[in-house]
Structure 1
């Protein structure tokens, strides 16, 4: 979806469109109803007003004098405030009362009244109501070409009357009302549009944050949190998202652990018998030499082949050294046995591989100084990975120990951490200057008890198990490891799954130990 399409379908845009549309429909409907039906409504109201006025005037005609103040007040209240033209004549059509001063208008009304009663008026009219003593009608006066709402008939006193309201005044009122409503509608629409825009922005902002948060969670970025707050339903939804993110991260970690265990279980049963045979064969072979040395030197001590103290001390040191090597080898064998048989559970978790490598280097720095070797670590900042932290620490320790045991030439050990972006992996490499590994031995160095240079391995007390432990650990996490020969040395490497959501890579820095 493009940015334009996203804006088109955003809640903010939809809210503005819906509310503005509804408001426009309401205002337009009001204007149309006012424009098309207001005149009819006015005429109905004026019709009722004429009937009410007739009742008041008819009753007053029995008791009040047309010229008296009481009748005039009633006319003023009933007619004057509603623009009603009133004419009263007797049965001789003599003018008894009128509330206007135009003689011409009075003559026209008297003539029409005469025509109505005599039945000689042929002007077309629209009769609205016929009552007891009165008629209400709409008519176009041929003398003035104006439309009127008329009421004519006989008062209770027997006198004739006619009341008129100009319809043009009603139309003018409707026009002014419509014009005023149009201006008000434009102003209200602009004001409401601003209010709706502000409200929609306020509502859409946390929803947009929740949308981004859900996308990050879908990409397994569990560090993203909802921060807009609020105590309404959206705020509660955001808090639930945060809780769900924590639960998902925990579940994802457990799932990775369970997935590794499942993959290991599939292969474990097939390999168990073979591993037992290899284990017994290799252990018996590797223990044969140190046991023979211990037995020989112990018998020599017992038989007193050399009686001097220096020789006895030498014999004891050989026995202790061989016993220590056997103890170390047995420990490694136990570790390897647990890994290969799947008895040592793999706990997948997220940690900083850069900090772990730096910690192992610091532990090995004293031994490096004793050997006269320089350890160079290219620090790339914090890089998070998914793996078993304690087992990876053992892998790094074995690689660095192996490099220290075989470093030669320039006496340099270089450690690097690189991100393989295309594969979403992190590769850790440990390079040491010295002799490369013979090509025919490259695939065999991972086998238990295999030694490329048996004499040199014996010199530093190697058992040929360290790289086997590395291979077993990496296999237990379904990750790769390997070795690369160079003209001036050897590089060992292993890969781990990168945590794409949390890595922050800083400027590279090299540190030397």
Structure 2
């Protein structure tokens, strides 16, 4: 759920809860009103009190009408007094009192209004009712009912029921305060619940992201950020976790590159030191007159030239490897008949093998597939692998042969030799730069140790893969794959989909 929708739902929830609460309170009040009529419970429910006022008013009207005869005959009789006492108890429940006027004299008043008789204005006998007759004393007392009748002696006799509005206002204020407290508590409670869930779903994930950013700031990338939710903050958490993984990978890659750089510097320094010392020693021999004959001088000059050429090749391979890393080497891919191309490479490289009294052959298949490759870069791969086979050849008669197999959209080329082989523990590292099975590098075999690394980068750029199999003491087989030219066009495939078996 998105944050926007979550906020909208919280707003709707607050509104609905408030409305529901008001409806409930209204329903509760109405129930209390109906239940409290006639029960005398008017101090806690002003609505109930008003209902009782009108109910008592109706009861009073009926009772007065019935009692008119008693008052007419003898208002001072025991029956009239008893009637007023019972009347008083009913009126007290609704904060009201009774006034009785005989002609212009007040002959009876309830205790609740006795102290304010002089302030109360009473309508005249049989005076038509007007709106201002509701309040009879500065809006403190409200006239509920007026009953006028004549006594037997012709006297004008009036009975008034008066309500003390101050008590009504106090009850209303008390109930209003109670309702306000209940509503405020309900709103605060609802707000607290919604705030808690909003804090749990928004603030806490943000705090976790803040802590994660602090960890990254301190250089710690060895932690993980679990998905929070499916909203924008959850998406932010996923993006943050992806960033952390990328930073960690970049850091590992940087550390690897730094280690490789240090190894490259150390290895180049070591590998260049040997030919440089040789060149320097032979030059000193010439200067010191050790090469005192034309034959010795020519021999010294040949050695100097050979060592300088080795240095040139080594520097060139390092430069090529760096350019391949940076993607600054351009490839010119073409459709190549692979059998014809391998025949060309065999013819070109046979001379170097024959100088060692060895053989270089190609087991040509019946059909010749067409592959997509850069002829110049591919020739370097053949040269590097066959040259390496000759360098580490320990047999008197070197034997190198090339095989070709087809498999789906790829062709697999194998270059096999009967040399000394590679130790099993060294096989995973032979395509690393400057790697040699002889870790001390004190070997008489010349070379930079990055020929196979360059070959791997070239084959990888072709969309293929390269690997080796070897039995130490009996020979090595180097394999690499190339994409075939298909009749319905070329397709991109993953490098490792070819079965190395």
Structure having the higher Rg: 2
TM-score (norm 2): 0.42
The structure with higher relative contact order (CA 8 Å, sep 6+) is 1
